[in-house]
Chain A
Amino acid sequence: MTATTSPAPAGTDPGGPPESAGSRPPRRSLRGPRRAGRPVERGASRVFRWTATGAGALILVVLAAVAVFLVVKAMPALTASSGELVDSVSFMRNSSSLADYVGPLVFGTVLAAVLALVLAVPVAIAIALFISHYAPRRLASGLGYVVDLLAAVPSVVYGLWGAMVLAPLVQPLWSWLGSTLGWIPLFGGTVSPTGRVILTVGVVLAVMILPIITAVSREVFLQTPRLYEEAALALGATRWEMIRMTVLPFGRSGVVSAAMLGLGRALGETMAVLMILSQGFLYSFLLLAAGQQQTIAANIAAQFPEASDMGMSVLIATGLALFVITLVVNMSARAIVARRKDFSGAN
């Protein structure tokens, strides 16, 4: 693009008001040379532009660097023959190939994260709605603070709590579930006497991801335009009907994003799973039995200290799988949000 208007000489700018033409530098007037062609950015505006662009580029660079690292380091395991892997990697002795090893881990990871999400999302939405639309103002801010505090607890503490307090505590409940609802395949099998099973992990992960989902949902719900809430109320909606007509549809994409943030954390959670779960390498939906599942992150942490070079490469290959899962989850979440974009209220 080139400038289409030649700069007006100083002092004879026809666009400026007469009293300012002489007293101000001509480039301050609206039709002065600065705005004649492509706008020239200066000072803070330029700094900001490059900072923002830089930050945006940085995230791509980091993402690419992680992906490259994972692929390069996993390459030996990806290219090695199955026999070679099984012979040289001690923790793969029960697997026949890399896929055979990674598969159950992917399954366990997704199962634990989905359990956590299923348990956490309804509770988080309920808490967020209570804070945003039901609670008296003072209680609301206090409660919001407490929920945020849950996010500040380190995951190793959750692991300790889960293994030492929650697991014995919920074990009788799991036994009861197993004896009364055992005909549902999920609750079948021998109920673990220790309570250190994937359902307990799901509960702990749910508690861990609750704050982020609640906080984001609460913010989204508070953004519902007053205009539409009043429209619903004026039609004779009760408070719950008003929430169903306006708050929830408006917050839909935000809640999906919040859930995805939570899911991301649940997928990658290491310590809590490692400390609670009695591990196994099966494609098993038995939520109450011991020794059935294991997650990728916890498995990496467990095997990492004693892994040989090839073993390390196998572990990084499982990490690559986790990376891909997370990407797929996020992209499908975007797709869900985008599908009803016309009706999102953003236009």
Chain B
Amino acid sequence: MAQRIDVKDLNIYYGDFRAVADVEMSVEPRSVTAFIGPSGCGKSTFLRTLNRMHEVIPGARVEGRVEIDGVDLYAPDVDPVAVRRQIGMVFQRPNPFPTMSIADNVLAGVRLNNRRISKGDAQDLVEQSLRGANLWNEVKDRLDRPGSGLSGGQQQRLCIARAIAVKPQVLLMDEPCSALDPISTLAIEDLISELKADYTIVIVTHNMQQAARVSDRTAFFNLAGQGQPGKLVEVDDTSVIFSAPREQATEDYISGRFG
């Protein structure tokens, strides 16, 4: 299920503005890769190119290659909708559909892929996904209530359940804990550690302790100045980045000297 990602010579634009320049990196399957860097350096933008969500913004476009197990996502015959069905995404702010019940939220993606799902299968899938997101015990008695009635941390785990219900190959997380309290954050981090057995996970975070705690590899992004494109400075094993980075900029950032 989990697959590797190879990014080759990727440039990302908003209209004429080049937001991210010349990214070249690989993401290993069944691992957690963290993107860190100062605000505006393009790490979220880069994350959104991995499931072709970048291009839903008017004027946004991408040059270069993103390969999932050798298949270029940006090849002309690739349907972005199909890409997004295989690469799940969790957003910064929890966004379960408030017009749907908890169970329907979990099934939202499955219903898009495969309209006919028997009631029993649906129930099993809801339970399995919610257990996978460590949320089952908290919501099993109110599956038909709206998802917006949950706490922020529960909502975010519901979003993770929704994303893993379709059994994606890759799970992208865009600062999934930045709107959550420390206890909910811990719950999500534990969940990430469990999920990496089955999924390739890429997580953007502003919290360097979080990157150090959950990730196997860390990529540091930086930008030279306002109006300049963001660049990938270095990517390495997390232990190396946080102990002996090759670049001075990385060391300055992780030691809190700037950013």
Q: Chain A residues in contact with chain B, CB under 8 A? A: 137, 225, 227-228, 230-238, 241, 245-246, 249-250, 252, 342-345, 347
Q: Does B15 contact A (CB under 8 A)?
A: no
Contact with A along B180-192 (1 / 0, CB 8 A): 0000000000000
A237, closest chain B residue (CB): B112
Residue picked from A137, A227, A230, A246, most chain B C-beta under 10 Å:
A230
- B51 and A234 form a contact (CB under 8 A): yes
- B97 and A228 form a contact (CB under 8 A): yes
B53, closest chain A residue (CB): A234
- A236 and B113 form a contact (CB under 8 A): yes
Listed stretches B142-150, B205-213, B214-222, B227-235; interface member:
B142-150
- Chain B nearest CB from A192 CB (Å) reads 45
Please name 5 further chain A to chain B contacts, defined as beta carbons within 8 Å, in addition to the given A235-B112, A344-B99, A347-B148, sorted by A numbering: A227-B93, A228-B98, A231-B91, A236-B166, A344-B98
B109 CB contacts on chain A under 8 angstroms = 235-236
Q: A230-B53, A345-B148 are in contact. Are A236 and B99 (CB under 8 A)?
A: no
- Chain A nearest CB from B121 CB (Å) reads 18
A234 CB contacts on chain B under 8 angstroms = 51, 53, 84, 88-89, 91, 163
B224 CB contacts on chain A under 8 angstroms = none
Q: How large is the interface on B (under 10, 10 to 19, 20 to 34, 35 or more residues)?
A: 20 to 34
- Chain A nearest CB from B243 CB (Å) reads 35
Q: Does B95 contact A (CB under 8 A)?
A: yes
- Chain A nearest CB from B171 CB (Å) reads 11
- A345 and B99 form a contact (CB under 8 A): yes
A345, closest chain B residue (CB): B98
A228, A236, A238: the one contacting B95 at CB < 8 Å is A228
Chain A interface mostly = helix
Interface residues of B in 59-114 (CB under 8 A from A): 81-86, 88-89, 91, 93, 95-101, 108-109, 112-113
- A250 and B84 form a contact (CB under 8 A): no
Cα of A238 to Cα of B148 in the assembled complex, Å: 24
B53, B58, B91, B101: the one contacting A227 at CB < 8 Å is B91
A233 CB contacts on chain B under 8 angstroms = 53, 56, 84
Cα of A233 to Cα of B84 in the assembled complex, Å: 7
- A241 and B146 form a contact (CB under 8 A): no
B149 CB contacts on chain A under 8 angstroms = 342, 347
Cα of A347 to Cα of B91 in the assembled complex, Å: 20
A137, closest chain B residue (CB): B58
B145, closest chain A residue (CB): A342
B113 CB contacts on chain A under 8 angstroms = 236
* 5 sampled A-B residue pairs with Cβ under 8 A: A230-B56, A231-B95, A233-B84, A235-B166, A236-B84
- Chain A nearest CB from B38 CB (Å) reads 24
Q: Does B20 contact A (CB under 8 A)?
A: no
A235, A236, A343: the one contacting B98 at CB < 8 Å is A343
Residue picked from B82, B88, B112, most chain A C-beta under 10 Å:
B112
Q: Does B159 contact A (CB under 8 A)?
A: yes
A237 CB contacts on chain B under 8 angstroms = 81, 112
A342 CB contacts on chain B under 8 angstroms = 145-146, 149
Q: Does B196 contact A (CB under 8 A)?
A: no
- Chain A nearest CB from B93 CB (Å) reads 6
- Chain B nearest CB from A291 CB (Å) reads 47
A250 CB contacts on chain B under 8 angstroms = 99
Q: Does B162 contact A (CB under 8 A)?
A: yes
Cα of A227 to Cα of B162 in the assembled complex, Å: 15
- Chain B nearest CB from A338 CB (Å) reads 15
- Chain B nearest CB from A292 CB (Å) reads 42
- A236 and B91 form a contact (CB under 8 A): no
Cα of A232 to Cα of B85 in the assembled complex, Å: 10
B83, B99, B166: the one contacting A343 at CB < 8 Å is B99
- B97 and A238 form a contact (CB under 8 A): no
- Chain B nearest CB from A342 CB (Å) reads 5
B163 CB contacts on chain A under 8 angstroms = 234-235
B88 CB contacts on chain A under 8 angstroms = 234-235
A345 CB contacts on chain B under 8 angstroms = 98-99, 148
- A227 and B95 form a contact (CB under 8 A): yes
Residue picked from A233, A250, A252, most chain B C-beta under 10 Å:
A233
B96 CB contacts on chain A under 8 angstroms = 231
- B84 and A230 form a contact (CB under 8 A): no
A137 CB contacts on chain B under 8 angstroms = 58
A238 CB contacts on chain B under 8 angstroms = 81
- A245 and B81 form a contact (CB under 8 A): no
Cα of A67 to Cα of B178 in the assembled complex, Å: 55
B145 CB contacts on chain A under 8 angstroms = 342
- Chain A nearest CB from B42 CB (Å) reads 18
A235, A249, A344, A347: the one contacting B162 at CB < 8 Å is A235
Cα of A11 to Cα of B69 in the assembled complex, Å: 73
B148 CB contacts on chain A under 8 angstroms = 345, 347
Q: A230-B56, A250-B99, A343-B146 are in contact. Are A236 and B93 (CB under 8 A)?
A: no
